[in-house]
Chains A and B, each alone.
Chain A
Amino acid sequence: MAGICCGVVGESEPSAPAEPSSRGSRLRILDPLPFKFVADRAVPPLSENGRKRHRIEVLPSEGIEGRKPRKARVEEEKVKGVADIKVARTDGSLNSRENVQVEPQECPKFGLTSVCGRRRDMEDAVSVAPSFCSESRQKPNGLHLFGVFDGHGCSHVAIKCKKRLHEIVREEIGRCKESSVQWKEAMERSFARMDNEVEWSDVAKTSNCRCELQTPHCDAVGSTAVVAIVTPDKIIVANCGDSRAVLCRNGVAIPLSSDHKPDRPDELERIQNAGGRVIYWDGARVLGVLAMSRAIGDNYLKPYVIPDPEVTIMDRTAEDECLILASDGLWDVVSNDTACGVARMCLRAQRPPSPPRSPGSDLAVGANAESSDKACSDASILLTKLALARHSTDNVSVVVVDLKRDR
């Protein structure tokens, strides 16, 4: 199955090669540390493909969630929302404009699933921040942030990104003087700040994780970050690492990010120009260690591994169906096209006019608005199940955002 899938990926996504080898551990830990440390901490030696068996880790239980859309302060932002749309909508998609005017701030429906899968450590973190700028007065309310962070080495960088990145992005947006946000710059600054915070984070406060924030082990910890900000008229995706965002538009899968793999030609060149090397050892790895070329954290691999995001800004259209953000636990075994197809099928199956349900079903017409939320949740679960069915060996995190507005 995985073989078939890789074929599909290869054909349809030239920019994102699916290396079968990337299914191994992301981080090959070359432990330069003396035995003393290991003995001292009573940590068993490396196992499970270079991952460590670990102490029990208290994570905020991620599980699976589906959220109802949140309506927030419609009156205040109505005028501004309309103004934004008039500026942006030059493509003449008038039919969706009215809907947008009615509820420009409503958070799109979404579902998320984040599971350990065949790993024993959970290193993924997912963040969903609806109307995350609603506190700042001068900035648009209709901004919603979704992020997937796939940690390596330990989970604390991913968790920190989940907790902080949306706040940093909010502050950076707040700094923009003009009414239109310079997204690329704002996201680049946000990622740089996030990386900086991880580097200088207060060690004592959060040492509740496997690595116990011991240097230099703590330096060998990082996370991918793929963040999508959904505005009334745009989707902004900032990506760093090998998690991925894919837009499903009219049945076609459009990748909104391109994986940062060490063997991506431009990345390889960048690393080599910085004096680094890419060594093929269980796949292409920076210095033979890390199987991705950009990440938040990973201080010891700087400047070869950088935290700079690539930013994609996409105008929303009426044909947009959904947005999928996921960690490579999904993308290693499920192609973009298949993922979009599955998500789309879940969303459409519950959209009116829906196929007749069994009599006595409590999902009547009135419940449609709610059930679509369930549809997102189902889509994320189904994608996760598919990844596990295809023997994904990694943590799997999937966020599905429903972008349809004409309901």
Chain B
Amino acid sequence: MATSDGLPSDQQRSRCCFLEWMRLQESDLAELLEALSLRDDPGDRHRRQLIGRNIEHFEEYIGKRRSLSQEDVAGFFAPAWNTAIENSMMWLAGCRPSIFVRLVYVLCGAEVEASLSEFVEGARMGNLGELTASQLAGINALQIDPTMHLTKHIYCMQGRTIGEEEKLTSRMASLQEKIADQPIVAIARRTNQGVEPGSEADAALDECEREMLAIMGDADRLRLNTLKEMVGALTPPQAVDFLVASKKLHLCIHEWGKRRNHKHGRD
């Protein structure tokens, strides 16, 4: 809804920002999918460029959110543009950074199973004799493969990310408890039903929102840094794979959520 002076409301501008971001992710996804099947990419130049651009896009989106949230940060913690299921899965105005690690577990998992499938098959047949040439090749590939080092890196990263998440979660918890403390409680007790709240109440809530703004800023920074670190640890083809998976996931959940919203009469 537009404001009385005809300018778009904070809510409208924030929703626009989100919709733009979703559209951008769609077009990024198309490009990434193309790059995935690219045969000829010497030195992964094209893939590297694309990955860099994708990170930039996320960074820009965070920047826009940041300036929009100066006016109405609460709108980002409970966004009206998200579906109910998305909002249920939200953590501090966005996704949990640790889900990047979980996503990589899934992708790595597929890789390991593929590399070991023949071997594991052999083991199941009770054939633990000599290694076949292709098994040896497979295992050598895995060992020379940077994923071994990557794996180390990601395992260490996971602990760190969860630690940071917990710190922010606990900051948010304190803030949530503050709502039932002074000065807000005193103001609420003084206020009579049906009477316009005074400037006192607004000042108190503004104070809360300032803290929310800081928390959201730090949470966004953690999301961005985790994403950067993850993409940096992966090989370019793996990073493309990872970005494809993450964008697809976000777009899918959004669409599925809409259908479920519709089913429950929440349009």
Would you call B148 and A389 a contact (CB within 8 A)?
Answer: no
| Residue contacts A-B, CB under 8 angstroms, 8 given | A54-B166, A63-B152, A64-B156, A113-B155, A338-B120, A355-B136, A381-B152, A389-B109
* A29 cross-chain contacts in B, Cβ below 8 A: none
Would you call B112 and A385 a contact (CB within 8 A)?
Answer: yes
Q: Which of B80-88, B139-147, B199-207 contacts A (4 or more CB under 8 A)?
A: B139-147
- What 1/0 mask marks residues of chain A from 310 to 335 whose CB sits below 8 Å from any chain B CB? 00000000000000000000000001
Interface size class of A (residues with CB under 8 A): 35 or more
Cβ of A217 within 8 Å of any chain B Cβ, yes or no, is: no
* B131 cross-chain contacts in A, Cβ below 8 A: 345, 348-349
Would you call B124 and A385 a contact (CB within 8 A)?
Answer: no
Top 9 A-B pairs, shortest CB-CB distance: A389-B109, A251-B128, A341-B123, A115-B155, A389-B112, A56-B166, A349-B139, A385-B112, A338-B123
* A298 cross-chain contacts in B, Cβ below 8 A: none
Cβ of B122 within 8 Å of any chain A Cβ, yes or no, is: yes
Would you call A64 and B102 a contact (CB within 8 A)?
Answer: no
- What 1/0 mask marks residues of chain A from 48 to 85 whose CB sits below 8 Å from any chain B CB? 00000011100101011000000000000000000000
If A8-B123, A390-B109 touch, whether A345 touches B139 (CB-CB below 8 Å) is yes
Would you call B152 and A64 a contact (CB within 8 A)?
Answer: yes
Cβ of B265 within 8 Å of any chain A Cβ, yes or no, is: no
Would you call A4 and B124 a contact (CB within 8 A)?
Answer: yes
CB-nearest residue of chain B to A388 = B105
* A344 cross-chain contacts in B, Cβ below 8 A: 128
B108 touches which of A64, A116, A338, A388 (Cβ 8 Å): A388
A122 to B160, CA, bound (A): 12
A345 touches which of B135, B148, B167 (Cβ 8 Å): B135
Q: 8 Å CB contacts to B: which residues of A111-163? A: 113, 115-118, 120, 122
Q: In the assembled complex, how far is the CB of residue B117 from the closest CB belonging to chain A, in whole angstroms?
A: 10
* B124 cross-chain contacts in A, Cβ below 8 A: 4, 8, 338
* B158 cross-chain contacts in A, Cβ below 8 A: 115-116
Number of interface residues of B (CB under 8 A): 39
Would you call A346 and B108 a contact (CB within 8 A)?
Answer: no
Would you call A385 and B109 a contact (CB within 8 A)?
Answer: yes
B109 touches which of A120, A357, A388 (Cβ 8 Å): A388
- What 1/0 mask marks residues of chain B from 147 to 173 whose CB sits below 8 Å from any chain A CB? 010011001101100110011001001
A389 touches which of B110, B135, B139, B173 (Cβ 8 Å): B110
* B156 cross-chain contacts in A, Cβ below 8 A: 61, 63-64
If A120-B162, A337-B123, A385-B109 touch, whether A252 touches B170 (CB-CB below 8 Å) is no
CB-nearest residue of chain A to B131 = A345
- What 1/0 mask marks residues of chain A from 360 to 389 whose CB sits below 8 Å from any chain B CB? 000000000000001100100110111011
B contact face: mostly helix, strand, loop, or mixed? helix
* A385 cross-chain contacts in B, Cβ below 8 A: 108-109, 112, 151
Interface centre among B98, B108, B110, B151 (most CB of A within 10 A): B151
CB-nearest residue of chain A to B165 = A120
A274 to B128, CA, bound (A): 43
* A54 cross-chain contacts in B, Cβ below 8 A: 166
Q: In the assembled complex, how far is the CB of residue A279 from the closest CB belonging to chain B, in whole angstroms?
A: 33
* B136 cross-chain contacts in A, Cβ below 8 A: 345, 349, 355
A8 to B128, CA, bound (A): 13
Cβ of A204 within 8 Å of any chain B Cβ, yes or no, is: no
Cβ of A342 within 8 Å of any chain B Cβ, yes or no, is: yes
Would you call A252 and B128 a contact (CB within 8 A)?
Answer: yes
If A8-B124, A337-B123 touch, whether A64 touches B110 (CB-CB below 8 Å) is no
A55 to B173, CA, bound (A): 12
Cβ of B129 within 8 Å of any chain A Cβ, yes or no, is: yes
If A113-B155, A349-B140, A381-B151 touch, whether A341 touches B110 (CB-CB below 8 Å) is no
A389 to B200, CA, bound (A): 55
CB-nearest residue of chain B to A337 = B123
A1 to B123, CA, bound (A): 14
CB-nearest residue of chain B to A122 = B159
- What 1/0 mask marks residues of chain B from 120 to 138 whose CB sits below 8 Å from any chain A CB? 1011101011010001110
B112 touches which of A115, A358, A386 (Cβ 8 Å): A386
Would you call B162 and A341 a contact (CB within 8 A)?
Answer: no
CB-nearest residue of chain A to B122 = A341
Would you call A1 and B113 a contact (CB within 8 A)?
Answer: yes
A164 to B58, CA, bound (A): 48
If A113-B155, A349-B136 touch, whether A382 touches B119 (CB-CB below 8 Å) is no
CB-nearest residue of chain B to A339 = B123
- What 1/0 mask marks residues of chain A from 217 to 254 whose CB sits below 8 Å from any chain B CB? 00000000000000000000000000000000001100
Would you call B142 and A382 a contact (CB within 8 A)?
Answer: yes
